[in-house]
A and B are shown apart, each in its own frame.
Chain A
Amino acid sequence: MTNELTAPGPHVQQGLLPTPFFERLNAFSKTKNWEDWAGFLSPSEFQFVEQEYFAVRNAATLFDISPMCKYRISGPDALRVVNRLVTRDVSKIRVGRVGYAMWCDEEGMVIDDGTIFRLSEDDFLLLCQERMYSWLHDTAWGFDAAITDESEALCGLSLQGPTSYSILDAAGLSSLKDLKPFDLRNPEPDLWVSRTGYTGDLGYEFLTKPEHALALWDRLWEAGRLWGLIPIGTAALDLVRLEAGFIAPGQDFQLVHHAERLGRGRTPFELGFENLVHFDKGHFNGRRALLKHRASGPRKHLVRLDIEGKDPAEDAFVYTGRGKKVGHVTSAAWSPTAKRNIALAELDAPYGGSIRQGLWVEIDVEKEGVWKRREAKVTVVDGPFFKNRRARVTPPGPY
């Protein structure tokens, strides 16, 4: 007797899944170095991380963002639901705009962050890392809004780098010339383009249906022939996002739904996002707890550090001049563009807040089997390490 369970072969798909772009990615991959991103095959790099990194800053790159979770929130109460979900006031995000947002649990601890695409007055698309389907349903309970998981109904590409607009132009999308940062447009059927990204550079993100995936890739690839376009993996992306000062959930802070130990969650204040918490918009999840946190002050500060020397301070502890341990580095790298040794670090308040001077990191460096411990002075800095006007100018320059 044969049934679903006894039939040969897996009855559920096992292992990491290919995205709609996999055929193209695989053809370019020299290292075949794939990693697990939300259950999908995602490239760590195609050949050389350095080459991919410099392409982001000097030419243009394609990165497959299909594994992002994509949720549609639509209906008469869609705005109320999204506003109930996130800490910022979504009514200020106009139709055709994209906004970065965080959302919290009832204790004011960040569940995840993501981008909200306002497709129409009552139609939103939420892009984030974590699965949120049941959370969104719970948030929308009692409201007239439909939640649809479009994670696999849509796929996406991120085109990033100074020549990315030139590629759009060559690809016949010059109508997007006046697209400002965080603008969103639907230039063709089944194609959404936003001027957003995770690199701090000029760039665009595309969403389309899986059946159009390869055509979109080929169209951009063809247009990018003269503009230095190459695909990149997560390693290069991690470096450019750190330069741009963007935080990585799960790395720079713990997502509260994954943290099992008490006190491991973080508030938006502790991550440096006071400006994204809008108490005057009415109730939203975690509002009462966040009011208390605002009154009692942050327990931690996630800060950007400029570190003496050139050895990346990965996993290093941060000390005061007297040797008191006050935190640790969460992300670190040598920034080839800023020519600085940069890091993100979580410090115990008030360090990183009112006390920003006299801090050190202890870096353990291994060179050919020999470990050395270096102490390096750090400076807490405001703003991104990499900032370039070209990322914001509209219309974008023809680099």
Chain B
Amino acid sequence: MTSAQTSFDVIIIGAGHNGLTAGAYLAKAGKRVCIVEQSDVIGGMAQSRENAAGIMAPRFAHLAHNFNPAVIKELGLESKVSLKTVPTIYLSPDGRHVDVTDETISFTDGTPHPDAEAFAQLRARLSRFAGLLSPLALRAPPNLSDGLSLTGLGELASLAKLGINLRRLGASDMREFLRIVLSNTYDLILDDLPDGPLAGGFAAESIWGAWSGPRSPGTVFSLMYRYGVGTSAQIPQGGMASLVTALADCAQHNGADIRTQHRAQSVMVENDSVTGVTFADGSVLRAKTVISSLAPLPTMHLVGVEHFDTEAVRRVRYVRGKGVTAKINLTTNGLVDIPGLDQRRREGRLVIAPSAEACEKAFNAAKFGKIPDSPVLEVYSPQVTEESGSTNDHHLLSINAQYIPYHLDGGWGDDARARLQERVIDLLSTYAPSLRSQLAHAETLTPLDIEQETGAPGGHWHHCELNTDQLLTVRPVNGMAHYAYGVDGFYLCGASSHPGGDVTGLPGRNSAMRLIKEGLPS
């Protein structure tokens, strides 16, 4: 590995977890790979960074809901990435919190929950259905652009398999799957459960990171997507940083070059084929294959819209993706107690969504450009693994605040950011009364801040909405769903490509696998 090297087989733009995954696969396949990253740290949305209190903390994503075991296995990361299940607790304003981690759903005080059975059955059903869809995530979406021909039969295999597996479910399950797959979680959940913290938390699982409320169509699908590898959230041993490090190490071990603070300015094209990447400082790296892990429109701008057909530009311009999730990172002196939770649960994933109705109401505010009175929160306390220059007993509270609109009425300024921070701290204080007195440092990242730091339009987790109109053969858009992105040698590997967002590693993997299978341009 030498930084003087200026010519590669593949240049990957963006060292987010998908860029790193694609890089690791390609390097492992013997390609000379260079991964360039605008930021000074790798990981993108999964990055960890030293906060103002000097603690290494996950900046955006703090959990891996859905990291795919195939990636770990195929890259040989078993010894480095060990995922453990994080307890999930749905908090209740009255202190009757519900633990939904395992099969037995109960109040945190140990008493049985009256709706435990209904909840468990519904979740198990969704999980079973999610299992049907998950094989589709492990390969490029079927390409039917050449019509139904004998040669196209292979493309149909994955869909055919889904059909067969659907039939195997039996008539009643199959009917149920088809009934609910495009519907909304609000109706689905409230059919079986009374509204309250259990239903609210369940509904919230379908909307994290998305511009949709529990009543939005397609939320059932989003939930199934998230349950693709099981229904529980996971954390790698050693935190999110260890996952990113493992992927980067794997890439580098196989010869890949990772260059941070390298902001790709443009992708060079000659004769409709990519030839390399130029950087802000005027330097140039050459490669005949360039993969972008950026969102669709920024990816297009790298090459220049003149290299894309009008229809493609139009589709990409109108990709749906309004960021609606803010991140609030709190540092506290000592662990903040939450009455009703023991130590194990306190360090779990805490969801504040008092009811499905409250979720939907919070979304209403966002639709009109307002910060909701009561945002929906996912709170997690990452373990402090590394702390520089401090002997304090510092703890972290990492919060995803849902329904914080990117397009805030009046715009995002310091005042608005402070207002959001206060509102979230106030809300959390109702569950953790000592929070304010223990607070050492707070940092709020609005969707606009997330966009500015990561480049993801709207600060959107998935780069574009993960919903049924932007899935499979139409993700990110019709005509560009198979990772190839217009110009010869140009590819997409980010969250906007199939199968989609969250920290799964799959878009990066699938994109790299396609390239390896089809061969790189020489």
Q: Which A residues lie at the B interface, using CB under 8 A?
A: 80, 84, 105-106, 135, 138-139, 141-143, 282-283, 285-288
Contacts and interface: CB of A to CB of B under 8 A. Distances in A.
Given A141-B317, A283-B272, A106 B306 contact: no
A185 B79 CA distance: 77
B310 A135 contact: yes
A241 to B, nearest CB: 29
24 contacts: A80-B306, A84-B306, A105-B309, A106-B309, A106-B312, A106-B479, A138-B310, A138-B313, A139-B310, A141-B313, A141-B314, A141-B317, A142-B301, A142-B304, A142-B306, A143-B305, A143-B306, A283-B306, A283-B308, A285-B310, A286-B309, A287-B309, A288-B309, A288-B486
A288 B309 CA distance: 9
Contacts of B419: none
Interface of A is mostly: loop
Contacts of A141: 305, 310, 313-314, 317
Contacts of B479: 106
Contacts of A285: 309-311
B310 A282 contact: no
Interface in B267-305: 272, 301, 304-305
What interface size band does chain B fall in?
Answer: 10 to 19
Contacts of B314: 138, 141
B84 interface: no
A399 to B, nearest CB: 45
B148 to A, nearest CB: 12
Interface of B is mostly: helix
A326 B305 CA distance: 41
A142 B313 contact: yes
Interface string B57-99: 0000000000000000000000000000000000000000000
A288 B272 contact: yes
Nearest to B311: A106
A105 B304 CA distance: 19
A259 to B, nearest CB: 15
Nearest to B147: A262
Interface in B96-138: none
| Chain B CB within 10 Å, residue with most, of A80, A135, A282, A283 | A283
Contacts of B308: 283
Nearest to A84: B306
Interface in B297-346: 301, 304-314, 317
Contacts of B313: 138, 141-142
| Chain A CB within 10 Å, residue with most, of B304, B311, B312, B317 | B311
A308 B486 CA distance: 49
A84 B305 CA distance: 10
Interface of B: 272, 301, 304-314, 317, 479, 486
Given A106-B312, A141-B305, 14 more contacts: A84-B306, A84-B310, A105-B311, A138-B314, A141-B317, A142-B304, A142-B306, A282-B306, A283-B307, A285-B309, A285-B311, A287-B272, A287-B309, A288-B486
Nearest to A106: B309
A140 to B, nearest CB: 9
A106 B480 CA distance: 12
A57 to B, nearest CB: 41
Contacts of B312: 106
| Chain A CB within 10 Å, residue with most, of B305, B317, B479 | B305
Contacts of A138: 310, 313-314
B272 A106 contact: no
A187 to B, nearest CB: 36
| Chain A CB within 10 Å, residue with most, of B308, B479, B486 | B308
A298 B312 CA distance: 24
Contacts of A287: 272, 309
Nearest to A105: B311
Nearest to B309: A106
B476 to A, nearest CB: 16
A80 B317 CA distance: 20
Nearest to A140: B310
Contacts of B310: 84, 106, 135, 138-139, 141, 285
Contacts of B486: 288
Contacts of A283: 272, 306-308
Nearest to B272: A283
Nearest to A81: B306
A166 B317 CA distance: 53
A10 B306 CA distance: 44
B147 to A, nearest CB: 9
A287 B488 CA distance: 13
B275 to A, nearest CB: 14
B15 to A, nearest CB: 27
Nearest to B303: A283
Nearest to B312: A106
A290 to B, nearest CB: 11
The 5 closest A-B pairs by CB, nearest first: A106-B309, A142-B305, A106-B311, A139-B310, A138-B314
B480 to A, nearest CB: 11
A56 B309 CA distance: 41
A142 B301 CA distance: 9
A204 B486 CA distance: 42
A139 B308 CA distance: 10
A8 to B, nearest CB: 39
Contacts of B311: 105-106, 285
Contacts of A288: 272, 309, 486
A79 to B, nearest CB: 12
Nearest to B301: A142
| Chain A CB within 10 Å, residue with most, of B304, B309, B313, B317 | B309
A84 B307 CA distance: 9
A76 to B, nearest CB: 14
Contacts of B272: 283, 287-288
A106 B311 CA distance: 7
B49 to A, nearest CB: 34
A117 B102 CA distance: 72
A143 B311 CA distance: 15
Contacts of A84: 306, 310
B177 to A, nearest CB: 30
A288 B314 CA distance: 17
Contacts of B309: 105-106, 285-288
Contacts of A142: 301, 304-306, 313
B209 to A, nearest CB: 28
A141 B308 CA distance: 11
B392 to A, nearest CB: 51
A202 B460 CA distance: 61
